[in-house]
Amino acid sequence: MGVLSGTWAVAGFTTLTIPPGSTSPGLGVLLVVAGIAMLVPAAAAIKSKVMPALVMTVAGTRFITTGVYEMTGSAAWEAVAGWVGILLAAVAFYTALALELEGAQESTVLPVGRRGPGRAAMDGDGPLEPASLAEEAGVRPQL
């Protein structure tokens, strides 16, 4: 989320400060780096949560293609970035809908590709026994 918010903040500021219709090679470099950074959590999530990982992968690809457009000013890269954006909107809409329906009905309605630990957590068979909660990330002893 930090990569997304920081990237969008810089993109917004850059868009405000450059002339309309122009490109920014500096913004292009940032978008490519941010796109590559988005692929890291996607790679980690692919084993248990396929659709959320796919959203992150397509979002990273969108940043990369838009970054190449910003660096080159090529109309072809602009079109590719636009089509990847349309794909991203479709994948993100499906994933959000599937996860919201799952949360509301407490069962899988549309498949999201849960496997391994993701499937176990949905089935209530997760590794979170009360005794092992103290060892989970974000849990600390009482102050």
Q: What mean pLDDT comes out for the span 29-48?
A: 91
The residue assigned the tokens 């002339």 is: 19
- The span from the CA of 69 to the CA of 106, in Å, is 42
48 phi, psi to nearest 5 deg: -120, -25
Q: Tell me which residue of 48, 52, 42, 51 sits closest to 117, measured CA to CA.
A: 48
Instruction: Identify the band that residue 35 occupies on the pLDDT scale cut at 50, 70 and 90.
Output: very high
Supply the pLDDT for residue 23.
Answer: 92
Euclidean distance between CA atoms 19 and 21, whole angstroms: 6
Q: What share of the chain is helix, strand, coil (3-state, %, to 5)?
A: 75, 0, 25
- Mean pLDDT throughout 40-62? 90
From the list 12, 7, 5, the residue with the least C-alpha distance to 31 is 7
Judge whether 65 and 81 are in contact, CB under 8 Å: yes
Question: Would you say residue 143 has pLDDT above 60?
Answer: no
pLDDT at 88 over 90: yes
Cβ 37 vs Cβ 7: under 8 Å: no
Q: What is the mean pLDDT of the chain?
A: 85
